[in-house]
Structure 1
Amino acid sequence: MALTVSHLVGGYSQIPVLKDISFEVRPGELVGLIGLNGAGKSTTINHIIGLLTPMKGKIALNDVTLATDPQAYKAQIAYIPETPILYEELTLKEHLEMTMLAYGLDQKAAWERANDLLKIFRLDNKLDWFPANFSKGMKQKVMIVCAFITNAKLFIIDEPFLGLDPLAVHDLLHLIKKAKENGAGVLMSTHVLDTAEKACDRFVLLHSGEVQTQGTFAEIKANYPDAGDSLNDIYLSLTGVTRDE
């Protein structure tokens, strides 16, 4: 069992945003975290990566928690944020070297993996570039490369498709598939529901800080037979949004 979120209550102030959230991300599966803006997706992710402390409940990754062993907990996670976070004074090569040092990776093996990823995302001739030279999509690709050179047990990917071209989306989905085959769990927050429907193994639908429903697409569809035939239709129905809104 990779990630277990149990009865999580939390937020940014005394008034909780998350109200008794529970779900799992198992090894070898991609779980889609979906919900309207303000539903609690980012708050959930911020608790999992340790930027926020739960008011109640427990978050464990392979039976390790931030409270018991923060270093061992964080070493298992690779995080790709919605907005790329790069250091303006570091080149692409230096970002990769910093990631390798932070995760204690074997340099030779890590660079072999990095070079393969750089070619996939067409960044192999840009090792000496600084972030100021990159477009938003290219910055996202740098974050993806940095994440996937690690040996993370859990990949957390926040809204990855918004700035990527179709080829990069295809390449990212292939990397996720390979990570799953290697036993990693993946938690992905996204609004691109047609892609999520095809790619994700299970879904957790948040609404107003609560888990509205969760399960495979087939399970959710069976539980809500009148909500629609696509994930998008079911999503809109369960959140009370009509197509005319």
Structure 2
Amino acid sequence: MTEPLLRVEIEEAGYEAGKPKIEHVTLHVQSGKLTGLIGPNGAGKSTTLKAILGLLPEVKANVSFTGSSDKYAYVPEHPVFYDTLTLWEHLSLAAAVYGMDEREFERESLLLLEKFRMTEVRNHLPGGFSKGMRQKMMLMIGFLLKPDVYIVDEPFIGLDPRATKDFLGLLEEERLRGAGVLMCTHVLDTAERICDDFILMADGKVAASGTLDEIRRTAGLPGAPLFDCFDVLT
């Protein structure tokens, strides 16, 4: 197996000293692969993402991005935006942070606006957007970078079916390019269809990991859908 683009080994992590929320969480994200991070509410998924991103005060972990550029994009569950900046200005700001060439920024931004059907609102303030439109803005900012690794938290919340299809199409293009994806989601039927492997968490620990067939073997449910395995293991 090739060297993963993202290697995570968390001994423990949490918000207060001596009170870990997650323990012994190990995961790898491979080039061109989509790893699904799943589990019930309170299982530790969001804490795991925060530990990977260095956003927790108490962490004992080794996290390494080993891609050629060490670039990653994080798409949060709850959109974050500036009230006084338009959609285009948000994209421009992200491009400046990423150090993108102006011509490349123009080309990629226009393509993303078209793909997500947001061209007509490029000069509008996101404060007036619907939840789904704000989520699309977050996805566009993430895709703009073309990183080695995408870390995506609950991307389907607020997206209509067409936007979901657009998102999945772009994600497939990026995987074909060689990017790896770690995606936290509650949408198990979609996860079963698109993920290459899974990290299933419960009570702050990894309850099972591997391909769907490996998850099925752990659950003792050969041929079962992911939902049934999820129900047994969590």
Assess same fold via TM > 0.5.
yes
1:82 match: 77
Pairwise CA RMSD: 1.7
Paired residue for 2:98, among 99, 103, 109?
103
Whether the 8 Å CA contact 1:227–1:233 is kept in 2: the answer is no
For 2:126 and 2:86, the matched residues in 1 are separated by 7
**SS of residue paired to 1:125:** helix
**SS of residue paired to 1:11:** strand
2:32 match: 28
1:174 match: 169
Q: How far did 1:236 drift? A: 0.7
The letter for the 2-side match of 1:10 is: A
1:57 match: 61
2:15 match: 12
The letter for the 1-side match of 2:177 is: N
Please tell me whether residue 41 in structure 1 is matched to residue 45 in structure 2. Answer: yes
Q: How far did 1:222 drift? A: 2.8
Query: Identity over the aligned pairs, expressed in percent?
Result: 42
Q: Which runs of 5+ in 2 are unaligned?
A: none
Q: How far did 1:227 drift? A: 7.4
CA spacing shift, 1:53–1:2, aligned 2, 3 Å? farther
How many equivalent residue pairs? 230
Greater CA drift, 216-225 or 92-101: 216-225
Whether the 8 Å CA contact 1:204–1:214 is kept in 2: the answer is yes
Q: TM-score, normalised by structure 1?
A: 0.89
The letter for the 2-side match of 1:9 is: E
**SS of residue paired to 2:24:** strand
For 1:80 and 1:8, the matched residues in 2 are separated by 25
Whether the 8 Å CA contact 1:159–1:190 is kept in 2: the answer is yes
Q: Which runs of 5+ in 1 are unaligned?
A: 65-71, 240-245
The letter for the 2-side match of 1:84 is: P
Per-residue CA deviation, residues 29-65 of structure 1 (Å, 9 max, x unaligned), is 100000111111001111112212553221111189x
The letter for the 2-side match of 1:62 is: T
Runs of 4+ in 1 over 2 A off after TM superposition: 222-228
**SS of residue paired to 1:17:** strand
For 1:226 and 1:27, the matched residues in 2 are separated by 29
For 1:81 and 1:206, the matched residues in 2 are separated by 19
